[in-house]
Chains A and B, each alone.
Chain A
Amino acid sequence: MSKNQEFYWRRLHSLLGVIPVGLFLVFHLSLNFTATGGEEAYNNATGLMELVPHWLLLIVEWVVIYIPLLFHGLYGVYIAFTATPNVKRFSTFRNWMFVIQRFTGVFLVIFIAWHIFQTRIQKALGAEVNFNMMEEIVANPWMLGFYIVGILAATFHLANGLWAFLVSWGITQSPKSQKIATYITMVLFVVISIVGVAAILAFV
């Protein structure tokens, strides 16, 4: 029954990008933002997660983060590499968004894989995830740069992906509504970028 399933895989890809992956990103960056209030505020906020029983946290992590993210990421790479970018010939705004969406998507697979290795896997191996850990990571200016680019790629990919979600599910049909959705999602991009970058700079 693998025939004629592509429509559903694509729709699932679109849905998972917003719920839960997109929602998780907003939650994640908001939690990080507590670092702007200092080391104690950040450790207290992240410490709240430790109150959740370990087995439940694992289930939530797999169901809400890893499985949807893995599907969205791997299927997204397939989508990205079936395209033939042509911004040289068609340098319109939307065509640039199309290319940047695919470029950030592929970059995010690499960035997120590294980020998970550097934090979550280290935690599983016995390290403690706290303010000090992030402080040590971003003490390296190259790593700080890598994280800032990663955060901006993620916020852009979410904001523009939300625009595409609205089209793909048939919510924004008219050119006018699509244009207004562009403005709203770009404002969203700026706002969550500020939250995300302010958070990472708080560890410097």
Chain B
Amino acid sequence: MTTAVGTTSRTVKLEILRQDKTGESSRWEKFEVPYRPGMNVISALMVIQQNPVTAEGQKTTPVTWDSNCLEEVCGACSMVINGRPRQSCSTLVDQLEQPIRLEPMKTFPVVRDLQVDRSRMFNALKKVKAWVPIDGTYDLGEGPRMPERKRQWAYELSKCMTCGVCMEACPNVSESASFIGPAPLSQVRLFNAHPTGAMTKDERLNAIMGDGGLANCGNSQNCVAACPKGIPLTTSIAALNRATTVQMFRNFFGSDHMVD
């Protein structure tokens, strides 16, 4: 079923860091797949999946990776491509130097091959209460109105897809360090900006003033450079630094303005 397309001889060379299980040692494997116009990294991986044979002709196991939406909104398919963490769906083969080197984002536990476990990010979102509480025993009615200009910058923060690229880029986030990382911090700013969310903003600020929280940021500003959605992560962190400075004084000296 190999349908030869005009330029049959063109191939795409890949080198993939393989790992069978969490905690096991890893090894590089080389692959060569036929080139098709407009290929992204995932489509190259799909060809390998159909015929898992290395460039040397050795039979191997299919390469495992995570992907879902294929349009850079779900955040599942992040991996390190030629040294940079990014989405494999929106990374086009034509724009990459070959061989294309694929590695898992090792700041997270590797499940298998390019698949990582991003649980720590979802746990972090729970820890910082990244939601607007509206549950009650009766209908609370409409919340306060959000100023339009505030809605516009807050919308940018809401584009976060928990993809983990900022976590991989951050030199202070690692399996051995406790830092919560840029993405969940920026979510605190988002939900504290929301008029109803602001009614519990002291809880979120106090959560990021715990161990491994906001103050563990080292200002390398890699996160903002790496974020595929262009979220102003370092501005969020600086804004939270100011908010926690105020919160720190409120906590110690007391205040009637914890939530306003």
Contacts and interface: CB of A to CB of B under 8 A. Distances in A.
Interface of A: 3-8, 10-11, 79, 82-86, 88-90, 92, 94-95, 97-99, 164, 167-175, 178
Given A7-B210, A10-B216, A168-B219, A173 B238 contact: yes
B245 A170 contact: yes
A99 B216 CA distance: 15
B182 interface: no
Interface string B121-162: 000000000000000000000000000000000000000000
A174 B222 contact: no
Contacts of B214: 7
B235 interface: yes
10 closest A-B pairs by beta carbon, nearest first, are A170-B242, A10-B215, A98-B220, A170-B241, A94-B221, A173-B238, A7-B209, A6-B211, A7-B215, A4-B210
Interface string B176-209: 1110000000000000000000000000000001
27 contacts: A4-B211, A6-B213, A7-B213, A7-B244, A8-B248, A10-B216, A11-B215, A82-B172, A84-B171, A84-B174, A86-B169, A86-B222, A88-B83, A89-B84, A92-B225, A95-B221, A167-B238, A168-B215, A168-B217, A168-B219, A170-B241, A170-B245, A173-B235, A173-B242, A174-B235, A175-B232, A175-B235
B106 to A, nearest CB: 10
B243 interface: yes
A170 B218 contact: no
Interface residues of B, number: 38
A6 B215 contact: yes
A107 B48 CA distance: 49
B226 interface: yes
Contact of A95 (B220, B242, B245): B220
B12 to A, nearest CB: 22
Contacts of A88: 83
Contacts of A10: 215-216
Contact of B239 (A94, A168, A170): A170
B212 interface: yes
B210 A167 contact: no
A179 B214 CA distance: 21
Given A164-B219, A169-B241, 9 more contacts: A6-B211, A7-B214, A86-B171, A98-B220, A99-B171, A168-B215, A171-B242, A173-B242, A175-B235
A77 B172 CA distance: 14
A142 B25 CA distance: 45
Contacts of B221: 92, 94-95, 98
Contacts of A6: 178, 210-213, 215-216
A97 B212 CA distance: 22
B225 to A, nearest CB: 6
B245 to A, nearest CB: 5
Given A7-B209, A7-B210, A95-B221, A170 B171 contact: no
Contacts of A7: 209-211, 213-215, 244, 248
Contacts of A86: 169, 171, 222
Contacts of B169: 86, 89-90
A3 B171 CA distance: 24
A95 B212 contact: no
B234 interface: yes
**Residue among B169, B178, B243 having the largest count of chain A Cβ atoms under 10 Å:** B169
Nearest to A175: B235
A82 B177 contact: yes
A83 B219 contact: no
Contact of B219 (A5, A85, A98, A173): A98
A164 B213 CA distance: 17
